[in-house]
Structure 1
Amino acid sequence: MRDPLPRAILESLCPCAAVFDADGTILHSGPTLEKAYGEPLAGKNLLDIFKVTAPRALSKTKDFKRFLTRKISVTLMRPDGDHRIAFRSQFISISDDDRTFIVNCSFGQSLLSSVEILDLEEGNFSFADPSMDLFNSLSVQQELITEHQHLTEKLKSAKQSAERRANTDPLTDLPNRRAFSDHAERMLRSQKQDGKALAFLLIDLDKFKQVNDMFGHAAGDFVLKAATNVLRSAFGDNGFVARLSSDEFIALITGKDVLAEAEKLSFSIISQISEPIKYESSRVQIGASIGITTACPGQTKSLDQLLLEADLALFEAKEGGRLRSQVYDARLGRKYALMGRLTREMEPALAAGEFVPFFQPQIEPATGRLTGAEVLVRWLHPQLGLLNPVEFIFVAERNRMMGRIDHEVRKLALDTFKKWQRYGLQLDQMSFNLTAEKLGDKTFVDEIMRDIEQRKIKPSQICFELLESILIDGANAPVLEGAADLSFAGFKLALDDFGTGHASIASLISVPVDTVKIDRSFINGLHSSKRIRSMTKAIIGLCQQLRLKIVAEGVEDVRDLQLVQEMGCDYVQGYYFAKPMSSNDFWDWAQSRQIEACNVR
């Protein structure tokens, strides 16, 4: 029988094909198919070499004709039995009497794996070998795959880099707020399974703003990195530390007795961060305050609530003198609940005029004359009654409303001051507390000048008391310039809470004050402590040498009154005379007292 497809033509046109007869006996095969099988195929039965898997299994040679021209899937059964190569194939009759057939195979998706199995390289092919088609096709495919892999790696690397930048603080290389939130949420979810308690430590650097203002931002960055090293060392691999903002960090630890561990770590951190830091030729010193809260198994606190608890505990730590830690507890919980209510009600309260001035008299002890009044803000809450600043100032500051409240109260107090003048109550001055933020506001002097000019009040009749926070957080150029501007405009300045350690002697030089108010901790019980009397006498002597007026705060006992008068205090105020009062009560008190307000001469 004449071969309708000679081997030479098969090798040239169909390198991956086999010619077989009606019995399934292979007459000859292409070189590529032989390389795939591993040995010559001539004389072998097609069904011993191939297994037809689709469209359905084929087991008899007589079935070939039913699959002619149809696309089929076959598997090449190699002699070693280790590898099977899948082909997409087609049976075609190549004789007039349908006695000779060809199965033409294509590697398709199996090209790469097949060549890896066969370990084919370019050197395995001669120039004229039609099997080079296989390798050339593979080279194109491999180039495309390599390029795809390269692009995939670049995209993966870029994504990882972007994720790192999005989750890392660039200065300290610590996780940022976003990364901490993700980690904390995961820990809170896993707590349901592992039953471990969590502790959150909110860490704030004290005096950091002073470092920036005095030495520059490079020094501030240096200090932040130093603090970061302390935190990394303290928590090690047992805690997750992140930087939340400029000088605020947060840490999360887990374990059995996390509260005791958190308090132990806090003590160590505060001690280490408070150590002097050498920067260039200077020694810089900061501190730290820490708020702590815990999340125990079975609780349903959200991350936002836990962070707010830690924030509140931190505020308490700062209010308690800084350089300390504070644990959130039930007492603070009640305060937090009240804060939530006050936050909702503060804006409507301001619009309704519920924030009002109260007045505490200032007396000249030598004559008993009423010389002035300190203005203190109060909230006349319709349900909760009279609220002192300690009960709402944190909420006001947190919601950036304290400035607006102070302004409204100050205008009401100035109206009252002018009203008293018209009705014959002549005070030398009225005193207002002033925050560092307001003092550093360049528009404040113009604002207060408009307020007093509208009421025809002289600047010399107004005294601004500089709070201790100004000297802790705000001894910077804008604050000092603001104090100088007020002094130049004719307003009086008083240094409040002097002697407590918050205000330094240097402040008497750097801030243009006219008056020093000695803190109540020196005055209340003055008669019972020889040591306090000596310290108070030294403070008064210093102020007298600097020709500053002196106000003794917190006078509650006639014996203390006699002592401060003997020491040379110019003015006194305290519960011995009167508590802070509403404008009407102050008027009645002043009228009933007249010049006999103080019996000590």
Structure 2
Amino acid sequence: MRSSAGLTSHRTSLPSRRQLGRLGRLLMLGLAPALLLGALALGGAWAVVLVVIALPLTVSSALGRPILSRNLTRDALTGLGDRAAITGRLDRMLAHPGGMPPSVAAMVLEIDGFKQLEQRHDRALIEHLLRVVGERLQIGLRHDDMLARLDGACFGLALSSSHRLDLEAALQLGQRLQESVADPVERGGTKVRVSLSLGFALAARLNRPGGAELLHAATLALIEAQRGDPGSIRCYSEAMRHRVRIRNALVDEAAAALDRGDVAAHFQPQVSLSDGRLTGVEALARWNHPRRGLISPAEFLPVMEQAGLMGRLGEVMVQDGLNALRLWDAAGIEVPQVAINFSQVELADPRLVDRLAWELDRFDLRPERLAVEVLETVVAHRLEDVVVRNLSGLSGLGCQLDLDDFGTGHAAITSIRRFSIQRIKIDRSFVSRIDADADQQKMVSAILTMAERLGLETLAEGVETQAERDMLRSLGCGHAQGFGIGRPMPRPEAEAWMRARPVARPAPATSATSTARHAV
């Protein structure tokens, strides 16, 4: 038996900070009922602490209301709630005693181009950016709405039923939230501007959803918004779910389609604007689906990326493109070069230069007959070391480097010179209606002047009319491609098209190029 002195000492000692910490961990494990029984047995100061803390938790556990969940489901970076917190809030909003409230909604917002921002800036700035965006969004909310950070640059909103919330009101709220983050975020002298794409879902448009289902519907709407321009807003509809099912089915079919040859290169002609002669072709991926026919690249390229098949797709495109050149050579059709766009996944492959050198040797082609197209957004941002080595290696091998979609990615002139870019491809957004738009003419003229002074060739993309061709030629643009010249065609159709065209002969290989080729 314990002595009375021992009992007195036990009653008067309060729990230490370490003991309270252990107590907190036990509470997190859901042991409140057991702690309550222990408190009744212990008595004293421990009894006061345990009863005060454990009793409400025991009652809340019996009622199914996790009181501590608000404190246990916070995003560590921003201090906002996380996915579990916002899902729980939506569940509570939707569990209305008199039936589902008509005005509950979920909204999901994401910073546009966040991957590129991460490549361009250091971690400290990115984390500061996420905190500031979270703070600004919070200020723009109504007092009983809830903001959470879901993951990465994605935020979620639980919109309360205490206000009128129909389609128009949700759109207005979305626009206000977009405006709230419009001002630049600054840290260490660096300013970053961001925009938000967002999707939302109204509970009244679904069949008695739970919180997770409503949040998922808003996420589907965000995906649709991101297929449009930056800063787009979309409201969930059942058709979106149908499109996602189709996209998921395509993901399952993608690998088999590559193996069967359903995904293959189509070839779009590139011509000289001075005399109309063929100067090359661009190999563009096309998926000929057995049931759906030709699927747009805008639809299946994200599928390939989602399935982790961009590297495999790139291999197919290189083999199809180089094989086409060899077959045209054998048929006496002179095609100076084939241009192939390389994704960032391919450019980050440390085996890329060796693989391309081997493929060129296998098809007995000079390296300069392969134009490697790189998106301007790739070289505009901070590059991994392996990407830098690959671009330098491809240039040293003798391949032509083209900067694709020029004018959309803010590439610095130093980047153009650093990687020995030889040609810039002017994005179609600058070409459309250039014959009638004076501002477009000024922009393209400035690009052409810069290219001339840097010794770069130029090619305009998306040329659709003779008037656009005439204007580009008068401004001094060297080459063009687009539907107004020739659509992307399977190899046999492209061959028939070429037979009726004059061809610009390729420049002879230099000794330096040949040496570089055999050194790899």
Name the SS of the counterpart of 1:193 in structure 2: coil
Query: In structure 1, which of residues 239, 250, 257 is the aligned counterpart of residue 165 of structure 2?
Result: 257
Name the SS of the counterpart of 2:99 in structure 1: helix
Say whether the 8 Å CA contact 2:270–2:481 is kept in structure 1: yes
1:346 positional shift = 2.3
Pair 1:290-2:169 in alignment: no
Pair 1:440-2:440 in alignment: no
Q: Return the alpha-carbon distance in structure 2 between the equivalents of residues 294 and 482 of structure 1.
A: 48
1:370 positional shift = 1.5
Q: What are the equivalent positions in structure 2 for 1:35-184 lying under 5 Å apart?
A: 140=7, 143=10, 155-159=22-26, 167-184=73-90
Q: Return the alpha-carbon distance in structure 2 between the equivalents of residues 322 and 446 of structure 1.
A: 37
Q: What are the equivalent positions in structure 2 for 1:296-307 lying under 5 Å apart?
A: 296=204, 299-300=207-208, 306-307=214-215
Pair 1:418-2:285 in alignment: no
Q: Return the alpha-carbon distance in structure 2 between the equivalents of residues 209 and 160 of structure 1.
A: 39
Pair 1:476-2:383 in alignment: yes
Q: Return the alpha-carbon distance in structure 1 between the equivalents of residues 208 and 100 of structure 2.
A: 15
Amino acid at match of 1:493: L
Q: What are the equivalent positions in structure 2 for 1:200-599 lying under 5 Å apart?
A: 200-209=106-115, 212-235=118-141, 237-255=143-161, 256-296=164-204, 299-300=207-208, 306-307=214-215, 309-329=217-237, 332-470=240-378, 474-478=381-385, 479-499=387-407, 501-504=408-411, 506=413, 508-509=416-417, 512-591=420-499, 593-595=500-502
- The TM-score, its normalising length taken from structure 1, stands at 0.67
- As a proportion of its length, which structure holds more strand? 1
Q: Return the alpha-carbon distance in structure 2 between the equivalents of residues 399 and 214 of structure 1.
A: 26
Structure-2 change in CA distance of 1:340 and 1:308 (3 Å): farther
Give the RMSD, CA atoms, in angstroms. 3.6
Say whether the 8 Å CA contact 1:377–1:388 is kept in structure 2: no
Q: Return the alpha-carbon distance in structure 2 between the equivalents of residues 584 and 471 of structure 1.
A: 35
Say whether the 8 Å CA contact 1:270–1:324 is kept in structure 2: no
In structure 2, what is the equivalent of residue 90 of structure 1? none
1:187 positional shift = 4.3
Structure-2 change in CA distance of 1:263 and 1:489 (3 Å): farther
Map Cα deviations across residues 18-70 of structure 1 (whole Å, 9 max, x no partner).
xxxxxxxxxxxxxxxxxxxxxxxxxxxxxxxxxxxxxxxxxxxxxxxxxxxxx
Q: Return the alpha-carbon distance in structure 2 between the equivalents of residues 241 and 228 of structure 1.
A: 8
Structure-2 change in CA distance of 1:313 and 1:430 (3 Å): farther
Structure-2 change in CA distance of 1:140 and 1:270 (3 Å): same
Amino acid at match of 2:371: C
Amino acid at match of 1:195: P
Map Cα deviations across residues 382-441 of structure 1 (whole Å, 9 max, x no partner).
111111111222322233333322322332222222222222222221111222333234
Q: Which runs of 5 or more residues in structure 2 are unaligned?
A: 30-68, 505-520
Say whether the 8 Å CA contact 2:140–2:180 is kept in structure 1: no
Map Cα deviations across residues 328-380 of structure 1 (whole Å, 9 max, x no partner).
34664553343233233323323322111111011123233212111111111
Say whether the 8 Å CA contact 2:133–2:181 is kept in structure 1: yes
1:211 positional shift = 5.1
1:156 positional shift = 4.4
Q: Return the alpha-carbon distance in structure 2 between the equivalents of residues 310 and 139 of structure 1.
A: 62
Q: Return the alpha-carbon distance in structure 2 between the equivalents of residues 138 and 402 of structure 1.
A: 76
Name the SS of the counterpart of 2:274 in structure 1: coil
Q: Which has the higher contact order (CA 8 A, sep 6+)?
A: 2
Q: Return the alpha-carbon distance in structure 2 between the equivalents of residues 550 and 359 of structure 1.
A: 19
- Structure exhibiting the larger radius of gyration computed from Cα positions: 1
Greater shift, 424-433 or 516-525, is seen at: 516-525
Map Cα deviations across residues 164-217 of structure 1 (whole Å, 9 max, x no partner).
786222221222234344444454555983423433222222354555545421
Q: Return the alpha-carbon distance in structure 2 between the equivalents of residues 180 and 444 of structure 1.
A: 44
1:564 positional shift = 2.0
Say whether the 8 Å CA contact 1:440–1:481 is kept in structure 2: no
Structure-2 change in CA distance of 1:216 and 1:529 (3 Å): closer
Structure-2 change in CA distance of 1:212 and 1:573 (3 Å): closer
Say whether the 8 Å CA contact 2:466–2:484 is kept in structure 1: yes
Amino acid at match of 1:595: P
Q: Return the alpha-carbon distance in structure 2 between the equivalents of residues 208 and 460 of structure 1.
A: 35
Q: Return the alpha-carbon distance in structure 2 between the equivalents of residues 447 and 302 of structure 1.
A: 51
Amino acid at match of 2:74: T
Greater shift, 237-246 or 502-511, is seen at: 502-511
Say whether the 8 Å CA contact 1:276–1:283 is kept in structure 2: yes
Map Cα deviations across residues 530-566 of structure 1 (whole Å, 9 max, x no partner).
3333332232222112211111222222232222223
Q: Return the alpha-carbon distance in structure 1 between the equivalents of residues 356 and 477 of structure 2.
A: 29
Q: Return the alpha-carbon distance in structure 1 between the equivalents of residues 165 and 354 of structure 2.
A: 56
Q: Which runs of 5 or more residues in structure 1 are unaligned?
A: 1-132
Q: Return the alpha-carbon distance in structure 2 between the equivalents of residues 213 and 596 of structure 1.
A: 41
Say whether the 8 Å CA contact 2:137–2:177 is kept in structure 1: yes
Structure-2 change in CA distance of 1:579 and 1:209 (3 Å): closer
Map Cα deviations across residues 104-138 of structure 1 (whole Å, 9 max, x no partner).
xxxxxxxxxxxxxxxxxxxxxxxxxxxxx9x9679
Amino acid at match of 1:239: D
Q: Return the alpha-carbon distance in structure 2 between the equivalents of residues 159 and 261 of structure 1.
A: 45
Structure-2 change in CA distance of 1:177 and 1:153 (3 Å): same
Q: Return the alpha-carbon distance in structure 1 between the equivalents of residues 18 and 466 of structure 2.
A: 86
Identity of matched residues, %: 26
Name the SS of the counterpart of 1:368 in structure 2: coil
Say whether the 8 Å CA contact 2:110–2:155 is kept in structure 1: yes
- The TM-score, its normalising length taken from structure 2, stands at 0.77
